[in-house]
Structure 1
Amino acid sequence: MKFEIRQTSLDQATRAQQEALLVLWPKASHATGMLADWIQKAQRQGDFKDTAGSVLQSYGMAGIKARHLVVAACDKGDAKDIRKAVRAACAVLKSAPIQSLHIQWAGDELSEQAIKALLSELADASYVFTSTLSKPQPRKLQQVMLGLTLVTATHRTALGQAQALVRGTELAKEWANRPSNHATPRHLAQAAKALGKHPGIQCKVLGPREVERLGMGSFLSVARGAAEPLRFIVLEYKSRQTKEAPVVLVGKGITFDTGGISMKPAAEMDEMKFDMSGAASVLGVFEALAHLQPDIHVVGLIPATENMPDGQAIKPGDVVTSMSGQTIEILNTDAEGRLVLCDALTYAERFKPRAVIDIATLTGACVIALGAVRSGLFTANDELATALSRAGDISGDLCWRMPLDEEYAEGLKSRFADVANVAGRAAGSVTAAKFLERFAAKFPWAHLDIAGTAWRSGAVKGATGRPVGLLLEYLLNLEQPQPKVRRKSNKT
């Protein structure tokens, strides 16, 4: 999808020949003219309200050159209201065979975050997955022009960031949506190598032998039951200007999760192709970085494997040795994500990172706790928690900080190993994070549990591309001076 931004007034937008015109109408609009009079008349009659998402529509309206006209109210005009307005307008335009759309802002100011929200919401509404269809129907909407009464350098910067965000989010959606036989560890490695062709990005892919030499016994144990060979993917983006230590992103890459010997129920098991959404989000972030080329340093680590119930698969009660040297009693083979992530966290130490963030569809317990609205955020570092929470609020890719009290680790104690890979049912998302925390003692660390936010089920089944927006916002903020990071307990 191609995005443009131009300096145009509402009156000029009505006189331009085009397929469709979407007018975003804030409560504080001072627009005048024929179209403004029509909108205000509808407001007086009670047919159009200021509430974000209220819509008016017309086809072939006299005095309007666009065939399709939709007016969407956006109340205060902030990013949240803009999202609601665009979503409602797209629902109206969904059946219209349009390839280009002019969006006209009818207010005085449009913030940088509102522009990002507008274009990312529009891209999400028009996205289609086609990779495995025999007769794919391509995306109908191909070109979007945003009209503002005044275009500034800030607006153009926001447009560029929005374009990169859309590209990254859609790459994440593409790989998470692919069936597991079209998204094996080897396929993910190929996608990473393609990213390595961009300026500033390097890619290294390790296979089973290299991983074994590194001593990643925990990661290897999960891969033992899979016929598809594992891959450990290392991506690095570094601008020429930066001398900063990197932020390391670790994405869970379980390309299909049967649960292993602790087999999952058959119902909805097809959705376990989404269990590599953390890995997909790392790929998406690097896609965005490739186009933005910010002055930062980022490393991406993806431990990729299937979790299968082969005769060689790990069994409940087995004990394995992680790369850190800690031994792990595997009480449940369906708690495999933490087993691949813990070795990746140990590998991250070699980069002497300023921060490490792991991203994983880790626990059903997080879905129960937070649903599909917010990702779970776990960290003992207050500054990192604040930065990630703020990035989520600004981007609209929300998260919520969860507790990490030391008492939650009690259930992970084992008589036969240094730690068990699961505790009881209670606080399952927290105990999973406590397990990972054991392997992240040497750097500021945060864990994002995206089990509830990475994909939608039901009639709209598909990947969301989250949390690419949150991560990209956080990383771009690193171009600004940051306060010194210190570790604190977050007992509550």
Structure 2
Amino acid sequence: MEYFVKSGNPEKQRVSCVIVGIYDRRTMSESAAVIDGVSDGAIAAVMRRGDMDGKLGQSLVLHNLPGTFADRVMLVGLGRERSFDDNAFRKVNAAAARALRQTGSIDAVSYLTHLPLKGRDFHWNVSQAAITIEEAFYSFDDCRGEKAKEELPSYKLERLTFDVPRRSDLPAGERGLVEALAIAKGMNVAKTLGNLPGNICTPTYLATSAEQLGAAHGFKVKILEEPELRKLGMGSFLSVARGSVQPPKLIVMEYLKGPKGEKPIALVGKGLTFDAGGISIKPAANMDEMKFDMCGGAAVIGAFRALAELALPINVVGVVAASENLLDGAANKPGDVVTSMAGITIEILNTDAEGRLILCDALTYVEQTYDPSVCIDMATLTGAIVVALGAYPTGLFSNTAGLTRSLTAAGEQIGDRVWEMPLWPEYEEHLKSECADIANIATSGGNGGGAIIGATFLHKFAKKMKWAHLDIAATAWKGKRSTGRPVPLLVQYLLNAAAKRD
């Protein structure tokens, strides 16, 4: 589908569908009022009959209204005007997209981008509308049979235009659209990789996918294989892979379009393509969802897809530690001690706390190879973050206040929010081991603070860097579907970083 930004009168649009909003208690938006005026009160008559009362997400399609050139006028409920906010804006655009799919519309113009929001401009309105609609139109059908694919519902929409009130608003809207489509494409990459089952999306598949994207979009990709990982001393990372027949891969991506010699921003992702827990095996219920344990790595790959689309003038490196965590005679055992690339020895008291075991070596690799300006890692690391924060924000841990502020601001800006968690030195006491430098789970302090303990472990390997850790266990997937998060957060952060340099 093609997207455009234009400025024009709603009643003069020669399209299959014009989309306007109605607030709760039957209050028309400005665009709806214009159409009502030229159609001799047709919208008001519909509302008087009770067919549309403006409840949030409600929709109604009217056909061949007098005084207009469009085949259809879609009314979308906006909820109460005084409580119309960013979240409501996303919901009404999603509702409009779902309703559009049910029509035979070939092209449409949306006036929902006119809706006023406190502190937002038309760059933001268009960007959020486009991302939301792309999300609504995304579907994952790669694993269906050919006959089933033929029977899937299809839609005819080929062209969607976001309208802005004035011609002077066009540059902001167009910029918002370009950024949104890049983010949406990156999210789709991350979603599809996340949704693929573990027997297809193996570490090798993940590595090949990164190589193909790099070749198509102009960034460098190199894959470090097991012999190279062993030579580097990545004993912690390699120990996780021992129970699987799938070889581990360290996927290294380089996007170096900024000033030569400028330190890069580093993105590091956990790429556990399936996590059974190892010897400390997980419960059988919902273990299928452990195919999503590579969503951190998928987000890094998706962010690079967006980064290349936007051609930002910055230096960024991405590292994804890809492996499986299964169990056989060679697998890690509780009580084993391994040596990380940093030379820190680790007592493995729980083989299901494996994400930190692969990430710690990836962090050391990034530090020693690239000396980045900042390093951001992301991982479906702990169920504890779900307990702490619920389903909405990503847990954020950082050793640098400025990086925390930048990530928090980017999350609020794009709607992919984070919440700062503590990273106090007191928690380090809980990682003491009787026979190694540190343990991979808490050895004291009870069972609380699991997400903080995981972040504290990683911080041991990132103290020389400006570093942030994103625990995305609550946000990377919902139900049985990948969300593509935190690609929007990462790309917005990179956009902001590039803007600061200009």
Q: By the TM > 0.5 criterion, same fold?
A: yes
- Paired position in structure 2 for 1:17: 15
Task: Please give the alpha-carbon distance, in whole angstroms, between the structure 2 residues aligned to 1:194 and 1:148.
Answer: 37
Task: Please give the alpha-carbon distance, in whole angstroms, between the structure 2 residues aligned to 1:39 and 1:393.
Answer: 36
TM superposition shift of 1:178: 0.5
Pair 304,59 (structure 1): closer, same or farther in 2 beyond 3 Å = same
Asked if structure 1 preserves the Cα contact closer than 8 Å seen for 2:2 and 2:160, the reply is yes
Task: Please give the alpha-carbon distance, in whole angstroms, between the structure 2 residues aligned to 1:219 and 1:370.
Answer: 28
Asked if structure 2 preserves the Cα contact closer than 8 Å seen for 1:108 and 1:149, the reply is no
Taking the TM superposition and a 5 Å limit, the aligned residue runs for 1:30-179 are 30-31=30-31, 32-35=33-36, 37-39=41-43, 52-74=56-78, 75=81, 79-98=86-105, 100-105=107-112, 107=114, 110-135=121-146, 136=149, 137=152, 140=155, 141-151=157-167, 152-179=170-197
Is the counterpart of residue 448 in structure 1 residue 466 in structure 2? no
Taking the TM superposition and a 5 Å limit, the aligned residue runs for 1:83-482 are 83-98=90-105, 100-105=107-112, 107=114, 110-135=121-146, 136=149, 137=152, 140=155, 141-151=157-167, 152-198=170-216, 200-239=218-257, 241=259, 243-349=261-367, 350-423=369-442, 424-457=446-479, 461-481=480-500
Task: Please give the alpha-carbon distance, in whole angstroms, between the structure 2 residues aligned to 1:28 and 1:200.
Answer: 48
Asked if structure 2 preserves the Cα contact closer than 8 Å seen for 1:101 and 1:143, the reply is yes
Asked if structure 2 preserves the Cα contact closer than 8 Å seen for 1:25 and 1:106, the reply is no
TM superposition shift of 1:194: 1.3
Pair 240,198 (structure 1): closer, same or farther in 2 beyond 3 Å = farther
SS in 1 for 2:498: coil
Gaps of 5+ in 2: none
Pair 138,338 (structure 1): closer, same or farther in 2 beyond 3 Å = farther
Asked if structure 2 preserves the Cα contact closer than 8 Å seen for 1:375 and 1:453, the reply is yes
TM superposition shift of 1:298: 0.7
Task: Please give the alpha-carbon distance, in whole angstroms, between the structure 2 residues aligned to 1:126 and 1:73.
Answer: 20
Task: Please give the alpha-carbon distance, in whole angstroms, between the structure 2 residues aligned to 1:387 and 1:380.
Answer: 13
Provide, for residues 49-73 of structure 1, a one-character-per-residue CA deviation record: whole Å limited to 9, x for no partner: 6665354433454555544432224
The code of the aligned residue for 1:277 comes to: C
Asked if structure 1 preserves the Cα contact closer than 8 Å seen for 2:6 and 2:164, the reply is yes
Provide, for residues 110-168 of structure 1, a one-character-per-residue CA deviation record: whole Å limited to 9, x for no partner: 52122111111111111111211113248635432222232422211111101101110
Asked if structure 2 preserves the Cα contact closer than 8 Å seen for 1:200 and 1:239, the reply is no
Pair 332,147 (structure 1): closer, same or farther in 2 beyond 3 Å = same
Pair 263,242 (structure 1): closer, same or farther in 2 beyond 3 Å = same
TM superposition shift of 1:9: 1.6
Provide, for residues 298-342 of structure 1, a one-character-per-residue CA deviation record: whole Å limited to 9, x for no partner: 110001011010111000000000000000000111111000000
Pair 398,106 (structure 1): closer, same or farther in 2 beyond 3 Å = closer
Pair 116,107 (structure 1): closer, same or farther in 2 beyond 3 Å = closer
Task: Please give the alpha-carbon distance, in whole angstroms, between the structure 1 residues aligned to 2:90 and 2:145.
Answer: 33
TM superposition shift of 1:17: 3.4
Asked if structure 1 preserves the Cα contact closer than 8 Å seen for 2:270 and 2:294, the reply is yes
Pair 402,41 (structure 1): closer, same or farther in 2 beyond 3 Å = farther
Gaps of 5+ in 1: 483-492
The code of the aligned residue for 2:103 comes to: A
TM superposition shift of 1:81: 3.1
Asked if structure 2 preserves the Cα contact closer than 8 Å seen for 1:249 and 1:356, the reply is yes
- RMSD over aligned Cα atoms: 2.4
Asked if structure 2 preserves the Cα contact closer than 8 Å seen for 1:260 and 1:313, the reply is yes
Asked if structure 1 preserves the Cα contact closer than 8 Å seen for 2:217 and 2:309, the reply is no
Asked if structure 2 preserves the Cα contact closer than 8 Å seen for 1:242 and 1:295, the reply is no
Q: State which drifts further: 318-327 or 420-429.
A: 420-429
TM-score scaled by length of structure 1: 0.90
Task: Please give the alpha-carbon distance, in whole angstroms, between the structure 1 residues aligned to 2:19 and 2:242.
Answer: 54
The code of the aligned residue for 2:343 comes to: G
Task: Please give the alpha-carbon distance, in whole angstroms, between the structure 2 residues aligned to 1:429 and 1:40.
Answer: 53
Asked if structure 1 preserves the Cα contact closer than 8 Å seen for 2:377 and 2:469, the reply is yes
SS in 1 for 2:473: coil
TM superposition shift of 1:45: 7.8
Task: Please give the alpha-carbon distance, in whole angstroms, between the structure 1 residues aligned to 2:298 and 2:277.
Answer: 20
The code of the aligned residue for 2:160 comes to: V
TM superposition shift of 1:290: 1.1
Provide, for residues 258-280 of structure 1, a one-character-per-residue CA deviation record: whole Å limited to 9, x for no partner: 00111111111111111000011
TM superposition shift of 1:297: 0.9
SS in 1 for 2:111: strand
Asked if structure 2 preserves the Cα contact closer than 8 Å seen for 1:79 and 1:114, the reply is no
The code of the aligned residue for 2:478 comes to: R
Task: Please give the alpha-carbon distance, in whole angstroms, between the structure 2 residues aligned to 1:108 and 1:342.
Answer: 46
The code of the aligned residue for 1:85 comes to: V
The code of the aligned residue for 1:127 comes to: Y
Asked if structure 2 preserves the Cα contact closer than 8 Å seen for 1:25 and 1:105, the reply is no
